[in-house]
Structure 1
Amino acid sequence: MTSTTASSASSELALSPASSASSAPSASSASSASSASSASYASSATPAPATSASSSLAAKASGTNTQPVPVNPPHISLLEAPEIGTASAAIETPALVLDLDIARRNIERMQRATSAAGVKLRPHAKAHKCPDISRLQLAEGAVGICCQKVSEAIPFVAAGIRDIHISNEVVGAQKVRQLAELASEVRMSVCVDDPMQIDALAVATVVAGSTLGVFIDIDVGQHRCGVSTLEQAVALAKLIVAHPQLELRGIQAYHGSNQHQRSPEERNRTAGHAAKIAGEMAQGLRAAGFPCDTITGGGTGSAEFDFAHGVYTEIQAGSYVFMDADYASNIYTGELTFEHSLFIASTVMSVAVQGQVVVDAGLKSMSVDSGLPWIWEQGQRSIALTYAGASDEHGVVRPLNAEQAPSTGSTEPTGSSGSTTSSASAPASVDDRSLPPLGTQILLAPGHCDPTFNLYDRLIVVQDERVADVWPIAARGMSW
């Protein structure tokens, strides 16, 4: 769908922030139906010059020191972004599409609940890699954002985001150096769970002349990263406070797998266990004489329970803005029930095989690690059609049998074919007239929004069934 290679697109986007660099970003540029040309990836606001360090980092991160390789003969026109005002049904596909009104409602709902609980919201930008979305969240009341990698943070700094937490450990001389340099421009923080990480951060921040926030990462049950005993946490705290340019800001206590437990009882139970561990760690650090002002963690699936347990001071939810088929498979009972705002627009490209149609969105247009996408019709998951299988550039759509209730369907490789199928993939004994004709646009709700965003250079923003804006997914591919 894109007009450039991933690397050249990243170069352009990283160096072209979509709106002015300010500590209090406005939502107006994010929501306006701009008059920019369809070839422009940026939104309508005039970009302010990035500071020299962030510009340099963005250039290094995106490879602008190399000559771009031509991707098409000069006489062949490129597929450009749709013009503002284009009917959403006329968008060239595959394309990643955001319903802005729904996204705004989701943002407002999470911020309202977080504020009511007396907790700060630090949304996770790894969910979207798009600075314009972060601006909407900050304008609504978020205190900053999370990024998962140092390179991922660079376009957000260039776009004017002023408070970023790297919710991960960082290892590697170049990445640590970049982090220290970013910390000389904006308020940055990072996680540690090993003394060697602290040593590297201390050296890099001295060289950069910067101050960096540090969070001790606590294992609260996921067993992925983080220390598991108070003794380990205290030992790390001693090393951190020994360096005046490193600020011990608290602990991170994130339980990722809990976000995807289906029943609210399971999520509440796991959230309670995580909160107990986090609370005891924080109390122990304070008793040992160390500050622990912030306890950060939680997510979209566990937020309502994280609020209720009263330990977290900051929540890192991200997917709530968009939802996906996996998150929507959870059972929700309270206020924090979110709507689908993110879709992959696809087009029926073949009707040659009886009992099915084929769309132009396959494995290169979406992530299927959390299941195949749902077909979206009339504001809900289709009760008539199922996305039955995916290969690289094709998706097979079949009718649901009358007795088949919608389900996410399990995904499993089919051997040498390289495709993925669902449990609802058997051809249905339904008249072919129930299938959409050639050229029909079909919306798909992706199984996992985060890695799906990473497959696109731009996000088509839609309001009232018209293209309202085109936003760069500026951190696409920045995963180091």
Structure 2
Amino acid sequence: MHLLSDLLGRTAAAIDTPALVVDLDAMERNLDRMAAFAAQHGMKLRPHAKMHKSATLAKLQMARGAVGVCVQKTSEAEALASVGVSNIYISNEVVSPFKLKRVVAVARELEALGGELAIAVDSREGVRRLAEAARGQHISLRVFIEIDVGQGRCGVAPGAAAVPLVAEIARHPELQFGGLQAYHGRAQHLRTLADRKQAIAQVIADVKATKAALESAGYAVPLVTGAGSGTFALEAASGVYGELQAGSYLFMDRDYAGNEQDPAQPQFEHALFVKSQVISVSASHAVVDAGHKSHAIDSGLPAVHGMALEYANGGDEHGILRGAVLPALGDTVWLIPGHCDPTVNLHNHLLGVRGGLAHGKVEQIIRVDARGALT
């Protein structure tokens, strides 16, 4: 069995299949375009690390302008904090007493690194449980009130419903009101720009109504955070958002490629690929060795990169290719995943290639530190 480290310095042709590969040049261009956009628009950038689950990439994002990262799970925060990611926001509700003890432990760890932990809540009881866990632990937690701006998931109703939660936060010295969490995930994938604009216009109206209710009650709103890779230019132009949580921009995927481009947003490139190999060829189709254990299919099947072929689901370990001209036995086929986030969670490592997929060399082995971090 060869070691992954043996691949360093070798061409991409040496990578066994199936494997998850990052085009480092494309990824870094995406990274810099997003950082430049945020800086030009006076926005803080806090990318969602649930996408890549990697401390290496989180640190790279922070080194190039991000103020920190978001995660969705306590265990993701633990995994990233344990290898030095110092500023983390759990943009999700945590109510289990056992998990809240873990949240407090991460907060202590981050404060020791000179950083901080923030977390979202959407109920007074959630605030009380968080305060109880933090009491006497000599930590300070920044708390964001999540409002439901159209996702139909977590969050209080827009408007005055946030006021009693902020009042509850103010009762507990261990907690500080950080602002509002306002993210509409489904809007990111609305195909037309007009539909996305309409959805985010309602989001902005909801945020303004909530902010006005809080200010009328005497509570300033320090920050509104949210947005994603499909709409962030709209939130940035709103005048109410101060922080962007886009994550998929770093890699992109087939699903996002289906969106009508917003000219106000930078053009991002595909940087995440599944390398596969043709293992069987017949008169009607070819078969590659990458099925849905290699890439997520919740947002659709992968696209075939650079070849006029359609990919069909062949099961756990196989993909079926059809087209006018089929590849030959043993050929390499690069696949663009339908959804980058859960695809990354299927792999222990990403193989970073510099110089292009065809002739580039393996430069980096990127550990997926929070793979399987679901609690």
**Bigger RCO (CA 8 Å, 6+ sep):** 2
For residue 277 of structure 1, what is the amino acid of its counterpart? D
1:287 maps to which residue?
A: 216
1:304 maps to which residue?
A: 233
Deviation digits for residues 210-244 of structure 1, max 9, x if unmatched?
21111000011121110014332111111111000
Unaligned runs of at least 5 residues, structure 1: 1-76, 400-429
For residue 369 of structure 2, what is the amino acid of its counterpart? A
User: What is the rounded CA distance, in whole Å, between the counterparts of 1:192 and 1:215 in structure 2?
Assistant: 6
Partner SS for 1:134: helix
1:138 aligns with 2:62: yes
Partner SS for 1:97: strand
Partner SS for 2:177: strand
Cα offset, 1:179, TM superposition: 0.6
1:475 maps to which residue?
A: 370
Cα offset, 1:97, TM superposition: 0.3
8 Å CA contact 2:7–2:15 kept in 1: the answer is no
Could you tell me the TM-score, scaled by structure 2's length? 0.95
User: What is the rounded CA distance, in whole Å, between the counterparts of 2:106 and 2:12 in structure 1?
Assistant: 38
User: What is the rounded CA distance, in whole Å, between the counterparts of 1:236 and 1:283 in structure 2?
Assistant: 15
1:455 maps to which residue?
A: 346
1:347 aligns with 2:277: yes
User: What is the rounded CA distance, in whole Å, between the counterparts of 1:253 and 1:229 in structure 2?
Assistant: 10
1:225 aligns with 2:154: yes
Paired residues, what number? 365
1:96 maps to which residue?
A: 20
8 Å CA contact 2:296–2:338 kept in 1: the answer is yes
Partner SS for 2:366: strand
8 Å CA contact 2:95–2:130 kept in 1: the answer is no
2:301 maps to which residue?
A: 372
For residue 356 of structure 1, what is the amino acid of its counterpart? H
8 Å CA contact 2:24–2:354 kept in 1: the answer is yes
For residue 373 of structure 1, what is the amino acid of its counterpart? P
180, 204, 210: which one pairs with 1:275? 204
For residue 201 of structure 1, what is the amino acid of its counterpart? L
1:169 aligns with 2:65: no
343, 357, 361: which one pairs with 2:286? 357
8 Å CA contact 1:346–1:361 kept in 2: the answer is yes
Max Rg structure? 1
User: What is the rounded CA distance, in whole Å, between the counterparts of 2:162 and 2:299 in structure 1?
Assistant: 34
Cα offset, 1:388, TM superposition: 1.9
Cα offset, 1:136, TM superposition: 1.7
Identity among equivalent positions (%) equals 44
8 Å CA contact 2:4–2:365 kept in 1: the answer is no
Deviation digits for residues 177-221 of structure 1, max 9, x if unmatched?
111111112201111111221121111111533211110000111
How well do the aligned residues superpose, as a CA RMSD in angstroms?
A: 1.3
Cα offset, 1:350, TM superposition: 1.3
For residue 203 of structure 2, what is the amino acid of its counterpart? A
Cα offset, 1:355, TM superposition: 1.4
For residue 317 of structure 1, what is the amino acid of its counterpart? A
8 Å CA contact 1:348–1:440 kept in 2: the answer is yes
Cα offset, 1:250, TM superposition: 0.5
Could you tell me the TM-score, scaled by structure 1's length? 0.74
1:330 aligns with 2:259: yes
Cα offset, 1:175, TM superposition: 1.1
Unaligned runs of at least 5 residues, structure 2: 111-115
2:113 maps to which residue?
A: none
8 Å CA contact 1:82–1:467 kept in 2: the answer is no
User: What is the rounded CA distance, in whole Å, between the counterparts of 1:282 and 1:89 in structure 2?
Assistant: 54
